[in-house]
Amino acid sequence: MRKWLLLSVIAGIAFGVFSAYYTVNYIADFFTAKNGPWKVSLLAGSESADIYTRAAIALNALFALNKSEAVYFIAHTDSNFNPLRLHCDYRIEGGYLPARWWSITVYASDHFLIPNEYDIYAVTSENVKWDDGRWTVRLSQQYHHDNWIPLRGEGNFILVLRLYNPGRSVYESPESIDLPKIILEGCR
């Protein structure tokens, strides 16, 4: 009798922990604003974040800054909502972004940088080459002279767009600001 009670408690704890882990990621996604392929949690780094979002941030973006300091947009797909694949070529097209400076970084699906012989993982507003107020960045396994982030290996990847000291429009209406487009050019 007591044994069955103990088993019920153990099963309950296992279910509770499993459902917590699942819910953390699900609910964090629910409280996320979307702009094309880009997703952003404006509660990142804030003390007002609920326990689920805070847990998701601790899992996925430990030591994130609050929204007045930096806003983090994450893309798992291109602008047609197809998963980003390391064996494909993409171009990212953008222009002015309302922030003091910005960066776009490529990460593997485990959220760490992808090794490459050029030590290039990102572009920033300071090193991107502009053309008449616009810029285009290539993501490819193939070499490009500039505005290029190398892709290596197989599987999926993600992009993180960081806007530092963003304008108010970024965190007050992230759905409506003009963010870069991620365009698939082809796969190998």
Which residues are at the interface with another protein (CB under 8 A)? Answer: 4-5, 8-13, 15-17, 19-21, 23-24, 45-47, 51-52, 54-55, 57-66, 69, 72, 100-101, 103, 105, 107, 110-116, 119, 121-122, 124, 126-127, 160, 162, 164-165
Nearest approach, Cβ of 176 to another protein (angstroms)?
A: 25
What is the C-alpha to C-alpha distance for residues 177 and 98, in angstroms, rounded to an integer? 9
Nearest approach, Cβ of 134 to another protein (angstroms)?
A: 21
Nearest approach, Cβ of 186 to another protein (angstroms)?
A: 25
Report the sign of the C-alpha dihedral through residues 101, 124, 62, 86, in that order: positive
Nearer to another protein, 17 or 187 (CB): 17
The beta strands (E) that lie in the chain are given as 33-35, 38-40, 70-75, 88-94, 99-108, 122-124, 135-140, 148-150, 157-166, 181-187
Nearer to another protein, 12 or 83 (CB): 12
Nearer to another protein, 8 or 142 (CB): 8
Nearest approach, Cβ of 39 to another protein (angstroms)?
A: 14
Nearer to another protein, 4 or 143 (CB): 4
Nearest CA to 168 among 98, 74, 72? 98
Nearest CA to 93 among 178, 186, 167, 171? 178
Nearer to another protein, 152 or 183 (CB): 152
Nearest CA to 98 among 1, 5, 164? 164
